[in-house]
A and B are shown apart, each in its own frame.
Chain A
Amino acid sequence: MSETWDIAVIGGGNAALCAAITAAEAGARVVILEAAPKPYRGGNSRHTRNFRCMHDGPLGPLVESYTEDEYLADLLKVTGGKTHEGLARVAIRSSEECLPWMQDHGVRFQPSLSGTLSLARTNAFFLGGGKGLVNAYYRTARKLGVTVLYEAAVAHLERAEDRIVWLDYTHEGKNHRIHPKAVVVASGGFQADTDWLARAWGPAAKNFLIRGTPYNRGVVLADLLDQGVEQVGDPTQCHAVAIDGRAPKFDGGIVTRLDCVPFSIVVNKEAERFYDEGEDVWPKRYAIWGRLVAAQPDQVGFVIIDAKSLSLFMPSVFPPIEAESIEALADKMGLPPDRLRATVDAFNAACGDTSKFHPTELDGVTTTGIDPPKTNWARPITEPPFYGYSLRTGVTFTYLGLKVDERAQCSVGNRPVANLWAAGETMAGSILGQGYLAGFGMTIGTVFGRIAGKEAAAHANAS
């Protein structure tokens, strides 16, 4: 590649595109280096459905209002206080102007999806989901003259003192070296590198499924951390949920999630229950089940429900395994039949009055005298046919990342790297220490992608 670039943007997801578009609009010559082939462009962003947006009064598809303080309080709740408040406020405040900016750059919104009414006030849904968003941004970027290279995997950034002096990538089987004036890293986390996950988590991680793209392997992240660029978070932190055990290893996306746990009992491969399935409403609990399942033998779980619960939750991609008796179901699922029978019998015996059962509220219909208890929606499993799903841990993203400041700039020691910015998943750990708030990933990517693009362009234009 003989051309010279002002700015190289590493990655092809939401954060990368927001940065590239902003920089190109500021007059910079921009190249996007996307590791994935075109059909898989867009990283984890192609799997998303909404972003969380502050707003004072109705805005686009969003109803009522959602203030900065309420947004921040929601964030502090899920992270248990482990939030960088300064950066979080930057993300929250800017989210409001992001929505019209997104519309101006081709993104279209739709009303909150059926089954997700609880998010109608806080989260703006993309029409066609994240791939629709990514498609629109690629079209906009192309119109602005941004060059996009697919199957262009960045292998190394060379740091000398406080600058990145070149970067190496492969493209169409060849190695290339370019010397851009500025670099924006937006290449996501490292969750698709299961060896790295296994080093942090132990061998159990080999059994995890990766919900999103196989291309986020943390190559650039590792390369920069090795060269002393400031790190944030630790490699054991990741967002993981329990998903259908039959999901593909990568890219299963949203359709593999299972919402039936509150109406079920969940057992491990010894057919024993291990946690209160009815602790809270599912949106508040689904993120802990990834870790719960990860802690079980072989990292698998099995959800058992009966006929009366089948229509209480959103359908998922694979039909449940079905049988006329508990023993037959155990057989089909590879569980010890007598043990499952005993577990179900014990659970059923512990159920009491179910007349107050209410599927969408904490109904207090609880078990008595078993451990672990089921504290809501505890109805005996008695009505054939019986249904089962297997569960595995599905990793959404990792938190280990590059530490950035309010201008999205990376640093070495306490000095900024003069021409290096980071946006999106790869720096999200700078804001969230743990936990996750639905729709905040895309907010971080959009806000800091735009900041990084603007700063990088200013740097390139000045030099």
Chain B
Amino acid sequence: MQMLADLIAEARRQAEICNACRYCEGYCSVFPALHRERAFSDGDITHLANLCHNCRGCYYACQYTAPHEFDLNLPRALAEVRQDSWKAHAWPAGFANLFDRSGVAMAALLSLGFALMFALSQGMRPENGAGFYAYMSHGLMAAIFAPAFLLPLAALAVSLRGYWRTVGGGAVRWADLRGALASAGRMRNLKGGHGDGCNFEDEDRFSHARRHFHQATLYGFLLCFASTSSGTVLHYVFGVEAPYGLFSLPKLLGLPGGFLLCVGTAGLAWLKTKADPGLGAPSAWGGEMAFVLLLFVVSATGLILYAATGTAAVAWLLPLHLGTVLTLFLLTPYSKMAHGFYRLAALTREASRRPAEPV
């Protein structure tokens, strides 16, 4: 689990300048955490990197950005360490390089996934079954997706345990986790200390655009996830099988969820094209964009699939949608999808260190 020394050294150099300055103290959780220390271990820097929400407030407000010789660009320095920390903690380690090739990996997996699903839906088409199950039996879907969901999560759990050790985390307390969830739920750190939002798409102008699109993405995803889970419960516990009507739990959760996810990711992708890539990790840009687009395709194909119910298009829409979902699941530990987990870990760790204040 080796992180790149020069990335950490550069972030440390900048953190030490910030520690002598402190002008940005009120923007986010990073600065109070930074000002607590006098010297920064590799674990401290890794913690700060995962705590940083890349709101960029501290870049535009900094009197020491290039061409000044101190060359401050804290959002970028921390983004580079953050990206590197995810690679360093990836398990099994052999997959770490997928982070750098997310776009390629996604395209490849997507084609494979689509081909597989298409072949299965054509070749193992059930004798009887309604709706989607006319193409693929419930049993087969469960046989593919249960391991495709659970195995990556298990791999991610190993990574997170390693990360927790790197940042020197102790026993996890319920109150800290609650604090972290409350912070993530409101994206407090993208609000800016003043509540005017972050700097992203238009230099030093503060706006809530990124925060709101992220909220749509986050809650949209969670609703979609809840929709699928409710379907599973209905199926196994209550013996109610798909297709579900418009006023069933899976649809009531899934339709707004899919819609939010679609709008959120489209918005995030659009903002990303306007923002300065030099204030993030430039090498990660492609992978991040690929991830946003993948989420968009997951939600868009899901909605279209619903609209296309009963038509012949389902024959290829279903495999396409299932292929995107499969890709998303399988790449969770090795793509930007991991960020939510690492960031929650960082927020939890921070909550444990400053019990009285919000993170």
By a beta-carbon cutoff of 8 Å, the part of chain A in contact with chain B is 39, 46-47, 49, 108, 110-111, 113-115, 126-132, 135, 139, 248, 251, 253-255, 311, 314-317, 319
- Which of B19-27, B43-51, B156-164, B273-281 sits within the interface? B19-27
What residue in chain B is nearest A212 (Cβ atoms)? B63
* A248 x B69 contact (CB < 8 A): yes
* B24 x A315 contact (CB < 8 A): no
* B16 x A129 contact (CB < 8 A): no
The digit string for B60-94, where 1 denotes a CB below 8 A from any CB of A, is 11111111111000000000000000000000000
Which of these, A113, A130, A315, contacts B63 with CB under 8 Å? A130
In the complex, what's the smallest C-beta–C-beta distance from A417 to chain B, in angstroms?
Answer: 34
What residue in chain A is nearest B58 (Cβ atoms)? A128
Which of these, A111, A130, A253, contacts B64 with CB under 8 Å? A253
Interchain CA distance A128-B17 in the complex, whole Å: 14
Which of these, B23, B38, B205, contacts A315 with CB under 8 Å? B38
* A254 x B58 contact (CB < 8 A): no
* B23 x A128 contact (CB < 8 A): yes
B241 interface contact, C-beta 8 A = no
* Given A129-B24, A139-B204: A255 and B60 interface contact (C-beta under 8 Å): no
Chain B residues lying within 8 Å of A111, measured Cβ to Cβ, are: 26
* A114 x B63 contact (CB < 8 A): no
Chain B residues lying within 8 Å of A131, measured Cβ to Cβ, are: 60-63
What residue in chain A is nearest B203 (Cβ atoms)? A135
Which of these, B17, B64, B66, B204, contacts A135 with CB under 8 Å? B204
* A113 x B61 contact (CB < 8 A): no
* Given A46-B63, A139-B205, A248-B69: A254 and B35 interface contact (C-beta under 8 Å): no
Chain B residues lying within 8 Å of A115, measured Cβ to Cβ, are: 22, 35
* B38 x A135 contact (CB < 8 A): no
What residue in chain A is nearest B196 (Cβ atoms)? A108
* B20 x A129 contact (CB < 8 A): no
* B63 x A253 contact (CB < 8 A): yes
How many B residues touch the partner, as a band? 20 to 34
* B16 x A315 contact (CB < 8 A): yes
* B20 x A316 contact (CB < 8 A): yes
What residue in chain B is nearest A107 (Cβ atoms)? B194
* Given A127-B194, A139-B204: A254 and B20 interface contact (C-beta under 8 Å): yes
Interchain CA distance A126-B62 in the complex, whole Å: 12
B57 interface contact, C-beta 8 A = yes
Interchain CA distance A311-B63 in the complex, whole Å: 26
Which of these, B20, B192, B194, contacts A317 with CB under 8 Å? B20
* B25 x A114 contact (CB < 8 A): yes
In the complex, what's the smallest C-beta–C-beta distance from B8 to chain A, in angstroms?
Answer: 16
* A128 x B38 contact (CB < 8 A): no
What residue in chain B is nearest A139 (Cβ atoms)? B205
B193 interface contact, C-beta 8 A = yes
Chain A residues lying within 8 Å of B62, measured Cβ to Cβ, are: 131
What residue in chain B is nearest A213 (Cβ atoms)? B63
* A317 x B17 contact (CB < 8 A): yes
What residue in chain A is nearest B22 (Cβ atoms)? A113
* Given A39-B65, A127-B27, A251-B68: A114 and B57 interface contact (C-beta under 8 Å): no
* B23 x A129 contact (CB < 8 A): yes
In the complex, what's the smallest C-beta–C-beta distance from B40 to chain A, in angstroms?
Answer: 11
Chain B residues lying within 8 Å of A255, measured Cβ to Cβ, are: 17, 20-21, 64, 70
* A135 x B25 contact (CB < 8 A): no
Chain A residues lying within 8 Å of B22, measured Cβ to Cβ, are: 113-115
Chain B residues lying within 8 Å of A46, measured Cβ to Cβ, are: 63
A110-B25, A251-B63 are known contacts; what are 4 more A-B pairs with Cβ within 8 Å? A131-B61, A132-B60, A311-B38, A317-B17
Chain B residues lying within 8 Å of A132, measured Cβ to Cβ, are: 23, 60-61
In the complex, what's the smallest C-beta–C-beta distance from A28 to chain B, in angstroms?
Answer: 25
* B194 x A108 contact (CB < 8 A): yes
* Given A47-B63, A131-B63, A139-B205: A113 and B38 interface contact (C-beta under 8 Å): no
Interchain CA distance A403-B243 in the complex, whole Å: 84
Chain B residues lying within 8 Å of A47, measured Cβ to Cβ, are: 63
* B20 x A128 contact (CB < 8 A): no
* Given A131-B62, A253-B63, A317-B16: A113 and B23 interface contact (C-beta under 8 Å): yes
